[in-house]
Each structure stands twice: as C-alpha cells, then as structure tokens.
Chain A
Amino acid sequence: MKIMTRYTLLLGTAYIVSSLIYLIESMARVKISVPQLLPSDVGMVFYFMTVGVLYNYAWIKSREEVSNASLFIALLMSVAIMLVEVVDFIISSIDLLISSTRAEIIYNIMRIEVILGILSIPLLLKMRKVIYE
C-alpha cells in the first residue's frame, strides 16, 4: 500500500510538472526541455492538470474512502489519453508513411502521455483487484 501511494504521488507530480513546464515555456516563449516530453497543446495541459490533481487528491486522501475512487478515475484518464495518442499515431501514420520520417515515429512513441499512461497500467490492474476482490 505504501509503494502504491508513493507511485501515485510520483505519477501525479509528473503530470503536473510537465503541464507547468509547458505553461512556462509557452508564456516565456522559451524552450526549456525536450519538446516531446511535454503535453502537445493547451487542452492537453488542462487534461494533464486534472489527472495530476486527481493523483494528488488520492494521495492526500489516502486514509479516506474517496482515495481509491479518485485514483481509479485518474488511472482511467491516464490510460485513455495514452490510447487516444496511440490511435492518433496509428491514423496519422497514413500521412507519415507518405512523408516517411523515422524521427516523427520515434517522437510519437516518446510522448509523455504514452509513457505516463503505460506507467499507470500496473497501478490500474492493482486497483482492479482492490475493487473486485
């Protein structure tokens, strides 16, 4: 349980930090980090913030009942955004195949939403056990 809580905090912080870096970048019009490690647009920033807030809410409320529910929603949202990115990647591959650039493919695979989404899956499976058993 302790590991799960730490993991939750780590994921939530990752979401929030990447959103903040994006916001600072776009406001200051400077490039701070590798672009693919950031959300792709302002809408995504909001999504990231929500997911991050949910993870942290789950961590803060870890002694209360709503913690599991909050964590479950955050996990689902992480996986959903990862899936959307993957579908987006597959569909836009139609274009990529025509312009064929390996860098763009790697760029899409390296996106932070996919990485965080994959990192959330083990936690989601663990949560599933908590709910159903």
Chain B
Amino acid sequence: MKNEELFEKLNKLKVEEAIEKISKIIDSSMRKLDLRVDSRWLAIRLLEDDNDVVEKLKSRGLESVIRESKRIKDELEARFNKSVEVLMIEKRYHYILSLSKKYIKRKQARESLTIFTNKLDKVLTHPIIGLMIFVSMLYLLFKLSFDIVTPLTGLIETFFSHYVYNLFKTSLLPEIISSLLADAVLNGVGIVLIFIPNLLFLFLGISFLEDTGYLARVAFLFDKWMSKLGLSGRAVIPLLIGFGCNVPATMSTRVLGTDRDRRLTVFMIPFMSCSARLPIYLLFTLAFFKENQIIVILSIYFIGVVTAIITAILFNNLLFKGQTVGYVMDMPPYLVPSAISVLIKSWERVKSFLIRAGTIIVSLMVVIWVLSITGPEGYLGAEALSNPELLSRSWIALFSKLLEPLFKPFNWDWRITASLMFGFIAKEVVVSSLAVLYGAGEQGLPSVLLSSFTPLTAYSLMAFTVLYTPCMATVATIKTEIGLKYTLLIVSYQLIIAYTITCVILLIGGLIT
C-alpha cells in the first residue's frame, strides 16, 4: 500500500474515531436533558465549528460538550497538521470517489468521436447552413408543440367546456354555486390544463436539444447579434417560442445562465405576438384590409418585434446597466440524451407551471367572474356572462366605462375596453367577447365592426393588442419566474408603451389619411 493511501486510511479512521467520541458525549448529555437529536450530525457540526450549533448548545447549558469537542478537534489537527474542515472535505471526497468507482462505469471518449464533434460544429455553427438548420429545428419544435398536440388540446377543451361544464351547469346545485364552479373554477382549471400538452411537448423538445449539446451551438450562432442587446445567444430560443405562446417562452428562459439575462428576456417575450392573438388580427384584417391581409398582419408582428428590441436596449441601459457579465461559452461534446433525464426535466417544468401559475389563474378567474355577474345594483345573475344587456350593468362594464375617456382619443367605446379586459383572461376570448358585447355572432362580427371602426382605428386596436398586457397565464408565469416586483413593472410598462404607440399610430395615420 502506498504511503498516501495509508495516510488517507489513517485519516479516515481517526476522524471517524473523533466523531464517535463526541457523539457519545452528546448522547449522554442529551439523555439528561431528554432531547432527541442526531448525535452524529451534531458531532460533525461541532467539529466543523458551526456557530449556530455552538450557540444553541450554549443556550442549553451544554458548555462541557463544546469544550470536549474543541479538545478532540485540537488533538486531531495537531496530529495531521491540517484543519478539521480540510480533513472532513477529504473524507467526503474519499467516500464519493469510492462510490463512483464502484457504481459509475465510464466509456472512454474515443478520439474519432471528438474529431467528429468538431466536424459537426463546423456545419452546425456555419453562418448560413447553421442558421438554416436552426430555423428548421425551430419549425420542428413548433410543429411538435403546437400542431401535433392540437387534437390533445382539443380533447381537453371538449372534455372541460362540454362534458364537465354541462355536468356542473345541469346539476341541482343553486345557480350561483354551479356558475362559480363551471364559469370560474372550471374555466380556470381548463385554461391551465389546456397548456399542458403544448408545454410538455415543447419542454421535451427543448430538454432533448439541451441534453444533446445543440443549444450551446445555437447560443454561439446568435451570440454576436444578441450581445448587441446585452443578451447571450441562448435568449433567442425563448423569444422565438414566444411567437407560439408566451407561457412556455417565459418558462424556457430557465435555460439562460444568469438572472439578469432571464429578466431582460422575459421583458421582451410579451411583445412577441403569440398565436392566440392571431384571431383578433384575422377578424380585423378580414373586415378592413381584405386586399392586404398578410402585409397588415406582418406589420403588426413587426411592431411587436421592434418594440421588444427597443425594450431590451432601454432596460439594458436603465435597469440592468453595468450588470453585463462576460459570457464564457462552454461547448459540451455531443451526447445521446438519456430518456429519463429528458422526461424528468420536462415534467419538473410542467409541474412547476401547474402548481404555481395554476393557483394564480384560478383565483383570478374567480375575481373576474364575481366582477362580471355583480354590479352596482347587486347580483345580476349568472346569465350576465352571455347577455350583453346584463353584462353592461356589471362591475367589469362599469370599470370599462370609467376607462372609456382614456380611450376616447382612439374612438374606442366601452365594449372594446371590456373586450380587452377579458383579453387578460386569454387572448382567444377577445373575439368572442366582442361578439357578445356587440350582440352579433362571430360570423356576423366583421360587418358589425365595419360600422363602428375606421381602418385606422382598427389598425390601432391590433397594434394595441400586440403591445398591451399579455394573458393572465403569462402574467402568472412571469410572476413565478422573476417575482412580483418585475411583473408589475412589465405590466405597467406594457400598458404605457401600448397606449403611447397607439397614439403615435393614430397621429401619423391621421396626418396621412
């Protein structure tokens, strides 16, 4: 046996002996005080000079235990000429190494594989082909998480909005209770669950790409451009996911290394127009811009992207000034991901959304429900949710009417304001709310809107929709991801920006037309 190994063994034995001795002293003292503590743990803490433990023992009058452990510690240090902390660390590492030697079998990375990794990098980080591959990968990711899951989300929606909804509605419970359960709680739960298939597939894809080592290459590919916004290349992934849905986009900022990067990216995400806002653009472009529908819709997306870039530059210089840290890029070798690791990672992310954002969404749904079925006259009845006349007497309508003067310069009446408020629940609701409030079916809505809007006011409303507060699922996710303070800041900033840009559009549009 080598000297080093012999010394290690001796060290291990002596440290163990010291722990044993102190444990025995602790045990006998504790028995007197009738206290139940893990004496071995306490002995280790004493050997490592844990101030908290020392103070607690002192407060219980156990100075003798402290004195004795100090003596054993000094003895140990004198013997090995090392501090006990170092001895303990050595002991721990020795234990970990012995375990890993026993249970972990490493495959030696072959040289040919390393060379192949370098060759792959030449293609994947190629300025043109690399970019093409990335866009294609993103397309596949979108296809997986938005197209493929459509039947699944459809099933969940049908299950909740038809079967369970009707079950509550036709139950013998009092009307207010059945409406609370069906219209508020169930709708809230539905909104949460409807995201699950999207989130699960998206996170499976992201975790897979992350574990293969591809995301590090994406970061490298975009680093040059994103660094101009004060972000690392990795931030491009959540931003692009935002075009599908802002909720998974916000959650996918977890792949970013620093809090600063995460916050700055989360500030940009709500400006990426999610797919739920598309029906609003389609409705208005169908009514007002039939000839140039695609160009108008693209211009709305463009407004969102430009605002996101301005936001990043603004907050990078104001809120996060001087916090830019040098980004050291680690290029891990390509690996075949472990299915279990990918599944666990994805499930953990989905679970976090379910628990944290879910509770906030359901509570907010209940609040909005109460404000919709009650008004200054008192309880209006659950039918207020589908009756425009009753709804116009609710608190929601009252708040919308209070806000009406603010939107007077835009020529928007209270029904538009109310629809935008409902849009806070989910952007999909805006069109159906407009249909209810204007007393028209969704099919007849474009013709009704033609008489209430001009092309300019319609365009300004679309611009406002892309810029104002995202849905509550996104807001709840932002809150859980970066905290309440920043969430409030984002929400107020978005409202101000949306209002200002809408004013500018109307002003410029008014000058042109």
Which A residues are closer than 8 A to B by beta carbons?
43-44, 46-47, 49-51, 53-54, 57, 65-66, 68-70, 72-73, 77, 80-81, 84, 87-88, 91-92, 94-95, 131-132
Given contacts A49-B132, A70-B123, A91-B148, contact A43 B139 (CB under 8 A): yes
B381 contacts across to A, CB distance below 8 A: none
Interface flags for B111-143 (1: CB within 8 Å of A; 0: not) read 011001001101110000100110110011011
Given contacts A73-B123, A131-B113, contact A84 B140 (CB under 8 A): yes
Q: Is the CB of A69 within 8 A of B123?
A: yes
Determine the distance from Cα of A131 to Cα of B111 in the docked complex, in whole angstroms: 11
Determine the distance from Cα of A72 to Cα of B123 in the docked complex, in whole angstroms: 10
Using CB atoms, name the residue of chain B closest to A77: B136
B78 contacts across to A, CB distance below 8 A: none
Contact of A87 among B133, B148, B154 (CB under 8 A): B148
Q: Is the CB of A50 within 8 A of B135?
A: yes
Q: Is the CB of A66 within 8 A of B119?
A: yes
Q: Is the CB of B133 within 8 A of A77?
A: yes
Given contacts A54-B133, A84-B144, contact A47 B120 (CB under 8 A): no
Given contacts A69-B119, A73-B124, contact A57 B136 (CB under 8 A): no
Q: Is the CB of A50 within 8 A of B136?
A: yes
Q: Is the CB of B116 within 8 A of A69?
A: yes
A54 contacts across to B, CB distance below 8 A: 123, 129, 133
Q: Is the CB of B123 within 8 A of A91?
A: no
Q: Is the CB of B151 within 8 A of A92?
A: yes
- How many B residues touch A, CB cutoff 8 Å? 25
Within 8 A of A (CB), among B146-174: 147-149, 151-152, 154-155
A contact patch SS: helix
B135 contacts across to A, CB distance below 8 A: 46, 50
Q: Is the CB of A69 within 8 A of B136?
A: no
Interface flags for B288-325 (1: CB within 8 Å of A; 0: not) read 00000000000000000000000000000000000000
Q: Is the CB of B133 within 8 A of A94?
A: no
Determine the distance from Cα of A81 to Cα of B147 in the docked complex, in whole angstroms: 13
A84 contacts across to B, CB distance below 8 A: 140, 143-144, 148
Determine the distance from Cα of A95 to Cα of B449 in the docked complex, in whole angstroms: 35
A81 contacts across to B, CB distance below 8 A: 140
B120 contacts across to A, CB distance below 8 A: 69, 72-73
Q: Is the CB of A68 within 8 A of B116?
A: yes
* Shortest distance from the beta carbon of B215 to any chain A beta carbon, whole Å: 15
Q: Is the CB of A46 within 8 A of B136?
A: yes
Q: Is the CB of A91 within 8 A of B143?
A: no
Using CB atoms, name the residue of chain B closest to A70: B123
Q: Is the CB of B151 within 8 A of A50?
A: no
Given contacts A57-B129, A69-B119, A73-B133, contact A91 B151 (CB under 8 A): yes
Seed contacts A46-B135, A69-B116; 10 additional CB < 8 Å A-B pairs = A47-B136, A50-B129, A50-B136, A54-B123, A65-B119, A69-B122, A73-B120, A81-B140, A84-B144, A87-B148
A88 contacts across to B, CB distance below 8 A: 143, 147-148
Determine the distance from Cα of A71 to Cα of B246 in the docked complex, in whole angstroms: 35
Within 8 A of A (CB), among B68-116: 112-113, 116
Q: Is the CB of A131 within 8 A of B116?
A: yes
B139 contacts across to A, CB distance below 8 A: 43-44, 46-47
Using CB atoms, name the residue of chain B closest to A96: B151
Determine the distance from Cα of A68 to Cα of B117 in the docked complex, in whole angstroms: 11
